[in-house]
Amino acid sequence: MPLVSTRCLSLHKNQAMNTPFRALLEHRRSIRNYLPEQVPDDVIKRCIESATLAPSSSNLQLWEYYHVKSKDKKAALVKACMSQPAAKTAPNLIVVVTRHDYWKRRCDANLDFFRKVAWDEPDDKPIRASTYFTKTIPALYFDFLGIFGVLKKVFSFFQGLRRPMFREVRASQVLTMSHKSVGLGAVTLMYALAAEGYDSCPMEGMDSKRVRKILDLPKGAKINMVISCGKRAEGGVYGPRFRLPIDEVFFEV
């Protein structure tokens, strides 16, 4: 009996490891050398639509995606990416932008949605949503010269002595939270590209100030990363994949 159970468990595990999603994970690599073939515009738009389905903190969706098609802007963007091969050989470049400065308008968009689709529900969901987007989120995201951040930090410290309390309340910490959510969208975009048969490479090695200037964005917009995409060329993958053993990163407590 134990032998049968073990074999069944092994079979189930092997089936799980051979799912289409697992195959996608295994196939996607960061590509540093591309073929000149362009990714069709409709594919890129479809993949970005998929990226917008990624989860985001408080559903604020503080992301923007810029497909750089202008030859002049693309050349400038490659230079801003330190002319690394992943950018220089890529037929397509997408800039992922964190619009942390849009938190207020994204709150309003969520409120408009709730007013249209959920306001007639009999429970208190609309009331809680209204309170969350008109009081809780502004209290967290609003700051002035870092002053309110210090006050919020002191408040969270003393509140945390009595009950569980959100601690990441300084302006830089809230911005990091926005970047994390936008990063989830970027990851989804890369796997969407892989599902369409295209390769990609996320690049954080770039001059964010120059990239922002190329796109003519205000200071409130923050560059999250640049993603190159296309078809991998020979030598596009620099070597075999290295990952730490699972027992070094996974723990049961």
- At 93-130, the pLDDT tens digits run 999 999 999 999 999 999 988 888 765 656 666 677 78
pLDDT of residue 167: 81
β-strand 92-98 against 222-230: which pairing, if any?
Answer: antiparallel
Kindly state whether residue 252 falls inside one of the protein's structural domains.
no
Paired tokens of 145: 């010269």
Integer Cα distance of 54 and 185 in angstroms: 5
Strand blocks (E) in the chain = 63-68, 92-98, 199-203, 222-230
Instruction: Supply the mean pLDDT for the chain.
Output: 89
Within 10 A of 233 (CB to CB), how many other CB atoms are there? 16
Give the residue-averaged pLDDT of 227-249: 95
Kindly state whether residue 134 falls inside one of the protein's structural domains.
no
CATH number, domain of 150, equals 3.40.109.10
Domain coverage including residue 81: 30-104+140-237
Give the residue-averaged pLDDT of 197-212: 97
Kindly state whether residue 248 falls inside one of the protein's structural domains.
no
Per the structure, the count of domains in the chain is: 1
Instruction: Tell me, letter by letter, the H, E, C secondary structure of 147-172.
Output: HHHHHHHHHHHHHHCCCCCCCCCCHH
Nearest to 110 by CA among 54, 62, 172: 62
Kindly state whether residue 198 falls inside one of the protein's structural domains.
yes
Integer Cα distance of 233 and 245 in angstroms: 29
Kindly state whether residue 191 falls inside one of the protein's structural domains.
yes
Kindly state whether residue 73 falls inside one of the protein's structural domains.
yes
Integer Cα distance of 132 and 113 in angstroms: 14
Kindly state whether residue 113 falls inside one of the protein's structural domains.
no
Nearest to 28 by CA among 204, 200, 229: 200
Kindly state whether residue 25 falls inside one of the protein's structural domains.
no
Assess whether pLDDT exceeds 80 at residue 52: yes
Integer Cα distance of 85 and 32 in angstroms: 5
